[in-house]
Structure formats: C-alpha cells, structure tokens
Amino acid sequence: MKLHELTLSKAHELLRTKEISSVELTRAVLDRIDGVEAKVEAFITLTPETALAMAEEADQAISRGEITPLTGIPIAVKDLICTQGIRTTCASKILENFIPPYDATVITRLSKAGAVLVGKANMDEFAMGSSNENSGLKITRNPWNLECVPGGSSGGSAAAVAADMCLGALGSDTGGSIRQPASHCGIVGIKPTYGRVSRFGLVAFASSLDQIGPLAKTVEDAALLLEVISGHDPKDSTSAPVEVPRFSGPMKENLKGCKIGLPKEFFNTQGLDPDVSESVHRAIRTLKDLGAEFVEVALPHAEYAVAVYYILAPSEASSNLARYDGVKYGLRKEGQDGLADMYRKTRSGGFGQEVKRRIILGTYALSSGYYDAYYNKASQVRTLISRDYAEAFGHCHAILSPVAPTPAFRIGEKTEDPLTMYLSDIYTLSANLAGIPGMSVPCGFSARGLPIGVQLLSGHFNEAVLLKIGYQFQQATNYHMQKPAL
Ligand code: GLN
C-alpha cells in the first residue's frame, strides 16, 4: 500500500514502530497532492514548508519516545479555523488576505499532539452551503466523479480525505456540513455534541449551532481525532466542562442490547433517492445481523427543521457578519462618499450572493416588527424539536436515518434554486438545533458509483454509542475500503 493511502491508525502504528518516518509520510502526501490537486481543487492554501518542518519536529519527538496517535500525521483543516500566520479566508473575498494573529484552540491541540498541517481546505463561503459551489475562491470537485460536487460546506476537507491528500481533516457543521460531504465523498464524519469541542478561533457562522469535528477514512481514525480536539476550554464560554472519554475503547463492544430508533418522519419523505433508501435499508439489515434491535420513534416536529434553521442560522449570521466592515478585518474598498459608502462598497464587493441573501434574511427576521413572528417563533419550535429527541432517546440509544436525500449531484444542478439546495440538509439540520451529536458512515454506492452514507444520532455527550455502532458496522462491511479512481 502506498503511504498516502494509509489510514491514520495504520500510519501511527508504522511511525511508532519506526518503520516509516513522518517526513517520508508527509512527502508522500505532498506528492499525492501534487498529483491530484489540479483535478480535485480541495485546498485554498497549501503549506508544504510548514508541513515538512512540523514533520521533522515530529520525527525528533518520536525518536525521544514521545508519541501520541497524531504525532507526525498529515492533516487538512477547513479554512474557517484560525491558524496563526497562515491565511484563513473562509472562502470569502472579504477575508482573502486575512492572516490570523492566533491559533484556534483545536489547532493548538493538534499541534500539541504533534499533527502536521498540510493545508487549508476549501468550503462554501462562511460555511453557507451544501455543495462548495458558494466558495468565493474556487470550486472543489468530488474525487469519485469530477463533474459532481463534494457536498458542503466542508467539501474541501472531505474531498482531501477521500482523495488521500491527507490522513484526516477538520471541518465544521452548522446544519450538516461535516456529515453531508462525508457521505458524498465516502468517508466518516462526526458532528460532536454542541459544547464538546471549543469554538475559540472558529470563524462564527451561527454560534448556537456551529461545531468543529473530524473527517476521516475510518471510524477509529475519527475517534482519535475527536479525542484530541474535545474538552473544556476557558476561552469558549459555551464549551462544556465535561470529561472526554477514551472514545476508541468501547467501540469494540458488540451491539447486543443496543436499541436503534427509526424515525418514521425521516423515511417517508418525498425526494428520497431510491439508491439512498436501498443502501440505508441494507445498513439496517446488517446492524440487525450484528445484534442491534430496531424500534420506531417519532420526531413530530422534524418537518419544521428546515424552516426553523433558515430563520435562526441567517439571524445569527447577520449579526456575526456585521464585523466585516472594512475597518477591523480583511478587505476595504474606499468609498468616495464617506464612511457609509466605504461600508457599502466593502460589503457588496466582499460578500458573495448566498452570504448576502442570508444577511438580508437574518436582518429581516430580527427586525423589530418581525422578531416575534420569526426569530422568537423559530426559537420556540427549536425547543420542541429538542424535546422530540429527548423523548425519542428515552426509547433507544441512537437514531438512524439517511444523511442526505440524494448522492452527490452535478456541479451547477442546484445553484439556480436555493430552496432545493436547502433541502439537502433535511436530515442533518435538526441535530444542530437540538445540540446532539451525529455521524455519517459509508453504507453503499449509487448505481452511478457515488458514495452514500448513513446517519447515526445520539443523546448529548454520547458520541461513544455512535462510534460503537459505526465501528461495528464498518467492520462488517467494506465500503470504507473503496477508493476513487483518480
Ligand atoms: N448547508 C447548510 C447551510 O447552508 C449547513 C451548512 C453548515 O453546516 N455549515 O447553512
């Protein structure tokens, strides 16, 4: 097997036994990037020199006997996570030349663990999108079919992992942006419980929904990454002072006695692609054979999730994005006509169409005459959605559903119709509204050879049960071992 094709866990094993060095591994990954990046375009910024310097440091640490599961492992990071001295653009013209003066907490944790940063991955501008087509800088392609989208908004991170241009990556998930691209690219993605991972240094989209999480080739790799980035951070007041379990341990337990809920609302939806439905039903049969028990659960308010999300997320975004005014960060376009003209020119030139659409939607929903009718009402329904999940988890350990209604679609297929695009997240959004963790695991391929994922959800801070189910499923199947022909 070629070095860039290794899983994170396998590479760790070879580094630990000194069969390979981090410099060798990093060089192999950088060569792979040289070979396929022109086709996939997963990265906004590549950091080969930083990567090799970090790899050398990692090798020195290993020779001193200091090794963690991430020491010397090449990782990609979504370009809305601040990296000190390395451009962080959010795929927006307004931040095209922004160089953060500090590291996000997750970056500090990755560096402490000895991970090697190979580059900053493309995304939808400010994480608003489901296909990467909203990037203000470039379009990433799906490694399985270069005419299709990789999903979004963490599409660059997912494509980089699927194309073996890194051994694991970080993304962020506000309404599905880790799980959906993971599903479209045939890899594993986890959105942790809200508060599990620090958001310090994550450029905010919708602060009450955003979470950083791992994208990886296997469940055990995702667990290792999650272990390192999780944990309380005094710099983020919404980070939870909850202990971080050794996620990789209980994964090996069998599924006897494990109850999995099937929400009928998620299976009767219109627009569920037959290939997706078939793969998900096959996953259910596999899990039954492994000893899991299935029960029907109800999520009666799930049908409102898209409407609620597209009021709350734009509202928070309109407020968060007010800071890009040409004064504090990034782009400034001089106005001829005073300060207001400078704001207007900077913001209309710097933000893309979708970001502007959301700012307008959010500003409207928060305006004094409409606040009660929209923002307040949506917040109330959000509570009902959370209660549905709490009630459902009284009857099961986890919930299973499709990740997305269709496999990856063609570039350009949905760009003219934002509402159809918004429906890509119909199964993922409610987990963010409820703050619960979710995971996407490869479970099949469409007739056209595009990957399909299955979603698992669980109660707050119970990522362990997701990892256990996901791992047992993975061990019984071989979808995660397939590679795109690039
Ligand atoms: N696709 C959703 C949106 O456009 C979710 C994005 C995300 O999770 N960052 O808002």
256-300 pLDDT tens trace: 999 999 999 998 777 899 999 999 999 999 999 999 999 999 999
Which atom of ligand 1 is least distant from the CA of 176?
8
pLDDT tens for 90-111 read 999 999 999 999 999 999 999 9
What pLDDT score was predicted for residue 115? 98
Among candidates 222, 220, 221, which has minimal Cα distance to 212? Answer: 222
Q: How far is Cα 109 from Cα 225, in angstroms, rounded to an integer? A: 10
pLDDT band at 335 (very low <50, low <70, confident <90, very high): confident
Q: Where are the alpha helices (DSSP H) in 290-396?
A: 305-320, 338-350, 353-366, 377-392
Q: 169 is written with which tokens?
A: 């990556």
At residue 91, what is the residue type? Answer: A
Question: Residue 330 in 3-state DSSP?
Answer: coil
Q: Which of 238-242, 268-272, 433-437, 440-444 has the lowest mean pLDDT?
A: 268-272
pLDDT digits (tens, 9 = 90+) for 206-237: 999 999 999 999 999 999 999 999 999 999 99
Lowest-pLDDT choice from 163-177, 266-280, 468-482 = 266-280
Q: Which residue among the candidates 135, 153, 157, 248 is catalytic per the annotation?
A: 153
21, 177, 239, 318: which one is catalytic? Answer: 177
Is 277 an annotated catalytic residue?
no
What is the pLDDT, as a whole number, of residue 60? 98
Give the whole-number percent of the chain exceeding pLDDT 90: 94
Centre of ligand 1 from the C-alpha of residue 80, in Å: 13
Residue 314, helix vs strand vs coil: helix
Distance 467 CA to ligand 1 centre (A): 23
Mean pLDDT check: name the lowest of 188-192, 259-263, 338-342. 338-342
3-state secondary structure at position 327:
coil
Mutation pick for ligand 1 pocket among 157, 177, 205, 321 (CB with most ligand atoms within 8 Å) = 177
Q: What is the pLDDT of residue 268?
A: 75
pLDDT at 418: 84
Q: Does any ligand 1 atom lie closer than 6 A to the CB of residue 175?
A: yes
Question: Quick check: helix, strand or coil at residue 446?
Answer: coil
For the question of residue 315 being annotated catalytic, the response is no
The DSSP 8-state label assigned to residue 117 in this structure reads E
In ligand 1, the atom with minimum distance to the C-alpha of 174 is 8
Q: Measured between alpha carbons, how far is 249 from 245 in angstroms, rounded to an integer?
A: 9
Q: What is the pLDDT of residue 404?
A: 97
What tens digit of pLDDT does each residue of 33-92 get? 999 999 999 999 999 999 999 999 999 999 999 999 999 999 999 999 999 999 999 999
Among 78, 120, 345, 468, the one annotated catalytic: 78
Mutate to test the pocket of ligand 1, among 122, 425, 432, 455 (most ligand atoms within 8 A of CB): 425
Whether the CB-CB separation of 471 and 220 falls below 8 Å is answered with yes
What local confidence, expressed as pLDDT, does residue 21 receive?
A: 98
For 320-349, what is the mean pLDDT? Answer: 93
Burial class (CB in 10 A: 0-12, 13-18, 19+), 452: buried
How much distance in Å is there from the Cα of 102 to the middle of ligand 1?
26
The per-residue pLDDT for 59 is 98
Asked if 435 and 193 count as a contact pair (C-beta separation under 8 A), the reply is yes
Task: State the pLDDT confidence band at 1, using cuts at 50, 70 and 90.
Answer: confident
**How far separated are the first and last CA of the chain, in Å rounded?**
16
Cα(61) to ligand 1 centroid in Å equals 39
Supply the residue whose CA is at minimum distance from atom 10 of ligand 1. Answer: 128
406-439 pLDDT tens trace = 999 999 999 888 888 888 899 999 999 999 999 9
Please tell me the distance between residue 90's alpha carbon and the centre of ligand 1 in angstroms. Answer: 13
User: What are 346-404's pLDDT values in tens digits?
Assistant: 999 999 999 999 999 999 999 999 999 999 999 999 999 999 999 999 999 999 999 99
- In the three-class reduction of DSSP (H, G, I as helix; E, B as strand; rest coil), residue 142 is classed as strand
Out of 122, 174, 430, give the residue to mutate to test ligand 1, the one with the largest number of ligand atoms within 8 Å of its CB.
Answer: 174
Q: Cβ(425) to ligand 1 under 6 A? A: yes
112: confidence class by pLDDT, cuts 50, 70, 90: very high
Domains (range + CATH), the chain: 3-254 (3.90.1300.10)
Tokens 């960060």 found at: 329
pLDDT of the residue at 269: 72
Distance 121 CA to ligand 1 centre (A): 16
H or E element, residue 15: helix 8-16
